[in-house]
Amino acid sequence: MDLRYSREYEEYRREVREFLKGHWPPSGEAAQGSQAEQAARFRALAIQRGYVARSIPAAYGGSEQPPDVLKAVIIAEEFGRARAPADVRGIGASMLVPTLLEHGREDQKLRFIPPTIRGEMQWCQGYSEPGSGSDLASLKTRAELIDGEWVVNGQKIWTSGAQIAHYMFCLCRTEPGAPKHAGISYLLIDMKSPGVEVRPLRQMTGTADFNEVFLTNVRIPADHIVGKRGEGWTVSRSTLKHERNMIGDAAGSRVLFEGLVRLARETKRNGKRAIDDSDVRQQLAALEGYVLSHQYSGYRQLTLAARGKDAGIAGMMNKLTSTNIGHSVARLALDLLGDEGLLAPTNEARGIRLLPRGHAGWITQNMWSLGVAIAGGSANIQRNVIAERGLGLPRDFAAQREGSR
Amino acid sequence: MNFGLSEEQELLQDTVRRFLEEHWPAKKLRALFDGPSGHDADLWRGMAELGLLGLTVEEKAGGAGLELLDLALVAEVLGSFAAPGPFLGHSLATLALSWGGSEAQKDRWLPRLASGEALATFALLEAGGGWDPAEWGARLLSAGTGLRLSGQKIHVPAAEIADVFVVGVAGGGLALVERAGEGLCIEAIEGVDQTRRVCRVAFEGATADLLPGGNEAAPRVRDAGLVLLAADAFGGASRCVELAVEYAKNRVQFGVTIGHFQAVKHQLANMAVEIEPARSLYWYAAHAFDHLPAESQRHAALAKAHLTDRFMQIARDTVEVHGGIGFTWECDVQIWYKRAMFDRAFLGTPAVHRERAARLAGW
């Protein structure tokens, strides 16, 4: 065990810092144009240097670097500190691109990957339906091949970012006679196609970050399918695997916790600073036990990954641990706010800010902690996964009957 | 950066695990738990032969010269088997001598403690007092050329079989008392954890020797103890999860094993999520102890508070998963339940250490 970086990595960190000092924030000619243009120019440079899009082959616009977890951590830390544009975030880069790399045709990779990792092409995910949440494979949206085109009819729900996305990767039933999981295909839908209607869904926070998407006789080219007909379930599983592989947000939990400590210093309880109250101190220290465990478990998982080993059950717990911490923070923050807990949430767009802004921001965090515990596989589904795959307990009756997964 | 065990450390844990699987079957644990003595001399000898008693002792005294993390990795495995005996007190007394002893004291004791030829223990708590060095009241008085110790210590582990005691004294220092001397009165206390039995020890003018570096060593030894208890708790809690999962895979109700029921599955998943990430917290605290001095005190406190709390709750959940049988004396779960009670209370409850952690953070 050694928590220092070796000389090689310290040298690498220096290089990254040097690069950032020279190029971000941009100055002179590089500072011209819109923010988006400046970011795009910087990102192109960072790709050349091997700091961004590291896992993407050069043929598809990436920098094609050998995998190195520690370098990735250094880049994340240094780019974060400099607030420089790093890897494009969002569901396109994190889920669609890895899926295309694994299952896509050459022409699909060439067409969709480069603009996605440059941040020019936005994606949304067409999985959940009103009747198909945790039981996703029961989905009913149909696609029929008619005159060389897929004709799609159905409804998707909880579609984050559909209002701005250029494309949707979408699961549709294409083989109605086949068993549940074998009848699904993975299609790419241009959101500007006639028949696509996006209706915002307003959340309890008051903002509308996700949507319902109605698909009525939407026609898309026959070759906008990833993988073969009826193999969409397998293709989508690999997407979910990539989603789970995304490095846990332990660093986010840490930042949130430190914000909570600051809140305890600023607010009063019984006429003195809340942080001087023994009950508050106990609760903060108890919560910090979870936060540190989460953070160091992340270190351990990174080390295992660098050694080419599987993290096992620990790797299945990151999301649940993170959202459990989010719930605890929400509870304690509300206590600290006292009467300010009567305020409405602030109307910030994309409310999953790492650190709430102002006291009302903690009300927003309080509500978002519920949203993130449900999105991307609810807490109860996480518990199923941990119990079944991690602890080897028997599968759910219903899932067992259908022989799925 | 590397936050993982070395091959040697993995091998160390495997070796201890295999040793206990072979020499410490559930039947023996049960017999000891129900029996009059909390000590198994064969087991202790075996641990000595593996070199576990001298892991942190310097090499010239016959030890392995390793770090607290190595010792904690052993404590984890002992916790997972609910292995009985004087390991905790012996380890802490050995560390106290290593850090606070004079050359003469070290020469006299460390080789024998490392080999298992002599057994040491650590006496801190006094009735109505606390574990903290500032709270110790036992008094050292000069008598002729030597020193005499007067005072009473409670919850002293393995005192009945110890050859030498490291005792916390007024002013926060440490004194060495040999059992062979006069003025020692040892009386068993009916403790909750039958795998780690405790005594009341009255020192009535006992011949004593001061550890010259005792004042500096004392808080350090206390912190090492917190880390070892956290490691024991991780081992014990993880074993509880295994016991509960095993039971859920075998117990049949309504025609199926109860592990089919989502209520049970989710309870088991929650137990695993409570404890597994905390493995890294005790690792970090143990590593910080030797390498990150600025963080070590606070991490020892937080690790002890967090892990022993988790162990207690998981042991409770394990009883619940077992249903009625889990509440009986026959069911082995009670052994870990009581071990959790020991880990949680010994050297101070979670609340005590959370308050310390708050102070150390400048809150």
Sequence letter at residue A244: R
pLDDT band at A244 (very low <50, low <70, confident <90, very high): very low
* B150 in Cβ contact with B205 (< 8 Å): yes
Residue-level pLDDT at A355: 67
A12 and A69 fall within a common domain: yes
Average pLDDT over residues A341-365: 73
Contact A392 B357 (CB under 8 A): no
Residue-level pLDDT at B178: 96
d(CA B56, CA A11) in angstroms, rounded, equals 34
Neighbours of A147 (CB within 10 A): 7
Shortest Cα–Cα distance, B1 to chain A (Å): 4
Contact A393 B248 (CB under 8 A): yes
Q: What is the CATH number of the domain that holds A234?
A: 2.40.110.10
Does residue A93 lie in a domain region?
A: no
Residues 6 or more apart whose CB falls under 8 angstroms from that of A337 comprise: A263, A267, A343, A359, A362, A363
Q: State the Cα angle at A294 between B13 and A91, rounded to 5°.
A: 125
Residue-level pLDDT at A354: 56
Distances in Å between the Cα of A285 and the Cα atoms of A56, A331, B288, B308 are 42, 15, 18, 14
A320, closest residue in chain B (CA to CA)? B273
Q: What residues of chain B lie within 8 A of the CB of A383, using their CB?
A: 265-266, 269-270, 273
Average pLDDT over residues A285-305: 92
A384 and A261 fall within a common domain: yes
Residues 6 or more apart whose CB falls under 8 angstroms from that of A111 comprise: none
pLDDT at A241 over 80: no
A278 and A383 fall within a common domain: yes
* A376 in Cβ contact with A245 (< 8 Å): no
Place of tokens 């903002």: A207
pLDDT band at A349 (very low <50, low <70, confident <90, very high): very low
Nearest to B269 among A290, A386, A396 (CB): A386
Contact A1 B69 (CB under 8 A): yes
Residue range(s) of every CATH 1.20.140.10 domain in chain B: 217-360
Residue-level pLDDT at A304: 87
Residue-level pLDDT at A198: 98
* A336 in Cβ contact with A263 (< 8 Å): yes
B117-149 pLDDT tens trace:
999 999 999 998 889 999 999 999 998 889 999
Contact A387 B269 (CB under 8 A): yes
* B85 in Cβ contact with B74 (< 8 Å): no
Q: What residues of chain A lie within 8 A of the CB of B281, using their CB?
A: 289, 292-293, 296
A210 and A279 fall within a common domain: no
Cβ density class B147-162: b for 16+ within 10 Å, e for less: bbbbbbbbbbbbbbbb
Residue-level pLDDT at A350: 46
A230 and A263 fall within a common domain: no
Does residue A118 lie in a domain region?
A: no
A217 and A232 fall within a common domain: yes
pLDDT at B82 over 90: yes
pLDDT band at A4 (very low <50, low <70, confident <90, very high): confident
Q: What residues of chain B lie within 8 A of the CB of A254, using their CB?
A: none
Could you list the residue range(s) of the whole structural domain that residue A138 is in?
A: 123-242
Residues 6 or more apart whose CB falls under 8 angstroms from that of A68 comprise: A306
Does residue A97 lie in a domain region?
A: no
B360, closest residue in chain A (CA to CA)? A285
Shortest Cα–Cα distance, B171 to chain A (Å): 28
A296 and A387 fall within a common domain: yes
A257 and A377 fall within a common domain: yes
A243 is catalytic: yes
For domain B217-360, give the fold.
Butyryl-CoA Dehydrogenase, subunit A; domain 3 (1.20.140)
Contact B3 A299 (CB under 8 A): yes
As a residue count, chain B comes to 363
Q: Which of A206, A224, A242 is the last residue of a domain?
A: A242
- Residue window 6-45, chain B: list those with CB within 8 Å of chain A: 6
Average pLDDT over residues B278-294: 97
Whether B145 has its CB under 8 Å from any CB of chain A: the answer is no
Cis geometry, peptide bond prior to residue B111 (ω within 30 degrees of 0): no
Active-site entry in A102, A149, A175, A243: A243
Residue-level pLDDT at A130: 95
Secondary structure string (H, E, C) spanning A200-227:
EECCCCCCCCEEEEEEEEEEEECCCEEC
Interhelix angle A358-374/A250-266, rounded to 10 degrees, is 150
d(CA A337, CA A358) in angstroms, rounded, equals 11
d(CA A171, CA A159) in angstroms, rounded, equals 13
Average pLDDT over residues A325-341: 94
Residue range(s) of every CATH 1.10.540.10 domain in chain B: 7-115
Q: What is the CATH number of the domain that holds A377?
A: 1.20.140.10
d(CA B101, CA B66) in angstroms, rounded, equals 18
A227 and A363 fall within a common domain: no
pLDDT band at A400 (very low <50, low <70, confident <90, very high): low
d(CA A41, CA A62) in angstroms, rounded, equals 14
Contact B3 A397 (CB under 8 A): no
Shortest Cα–Cα distance, B266 to chain A (Å): 6
pLDDT at A249 over 80: no
A76-89 pLDDT tens trace:
888 888 888 888 87
pLDDT band at A66 (very low <50, low <70, confident <90, very high): confident
For domain B120-214, give the fold.
Butyryl-CoA Dehydrogenase, subunit A; domain 2 (2.40.110)
Residue-level pLDDT at A112: 97
Whether B355 has its CB under 8 Å from any CB of chain A: the answer is yes
pLDDT at B20 over 80: yes
Residue range(s) of every CATH 2.40.110.10 domain in chain B: 120-214
Q: Is A393 left (phi over 0), alpha (psi -120 to 50) or beta?
A: beta
Whether B305 has its CB under 8 Å from any CB of chain A: the answer is yes
Best interface-test mutation with A: which of B265, B295, B304 has the largest number of A CBs within 10 A? B265
Q: Which of A221, A242, A263 is the last residue of a domain?
A: A242
Whether B239 has its CB under 8 Å from any CB of chain A: the answer is no
Q: Is B65 helix (H, G, I), strand (E, B) or coil?
A: coil
Residue B22 C-alpha from the chain's centroid: 22
d(CA B231, CA B326) in angstroms, rounded, equals 24
pLDDT band at A154 (very low <50, low <70, confident <90, very high): very high
Number of structural domains (chain A) is 3
d(CA B153, CA B130) in angstroms, rounded, equals 11
A209-223 pLDDT tens trace:
899 999 999 999 999
Contact A317 B302 (CB under 8 A): no
**CATH code that applies to domain B7-115:** 1.10.540.10
Contact B5 A278 (CB under 8 A): no
Shortest Cα–Cα distance, B36 to chain A (Å): 37
| Residues facing B142 on adjacent strands | B147
pLDDT band at B318 (very low <50, low <70, confident <90, very high): very high
Neighbours of B228 (CB within 10 A): 30
d(CA B41, CA B47) in angstroms, rounded, equals 10
Does residue A276 lie in a domain region?
A: yes
A224 and A282 fall within a common domain: no
* B159 in Cβ contact with B85 (< 8 Å): no
Contact B287 A3 (CB under 8 A): yes
Q: What residues of chain A lie within 8 A of the CB of B363, using their CB?
A: 261, 264-265, 275, 281, 284
Token pair recorded at residue A388 = 């079944």
Contact B278 A1 (CB under 8 A): no
Does residue A220 lie in a domain region?
A: yes
Q: Is A144 helix (H, G, I), strand (E, B) or coil?
A: strand
Contact A299 B280 (CB under 8 A): yes
A267-290 pLDDT tens trace:
999 999 999 999 999 999 999 999
Does residue A110 lie in a domain region?
A: no
A228 and A299 fall within a common domain: no
A376-392 pLDDT tens trace:
889 999 999 999 999 99
Contact B292 A3 (CB under 8 A): yes
A221 and A284 fall within a common domain: no
d(CA B92, CA B193) in angstroms, rounded, equals 19
Average pLDDT over residues A104-113: 97
Q: What residues of chain A lie within 8 A of the CB of B269, using their CB?
A: 382-384, 386-387, 390-391
Q: What residues of chain A lie within 8 A of the CB of B354, using their CB?
A: 281-282, 285-286
Phi, psi of A38 (to 5 degrees): -60, -45
Residues 6 or more apart whose CB falls under 8 angstroms from that of A106 comprise: none
Q: Which of A218, A242, A266 is the last residue of a domain?
A: A242
* A116 in Cβ contact with A96 (< 8 Å): yes
Best interface-test mutation with B: which of A391, A400, A401 has the largest number of B CBs within 10 A? A391
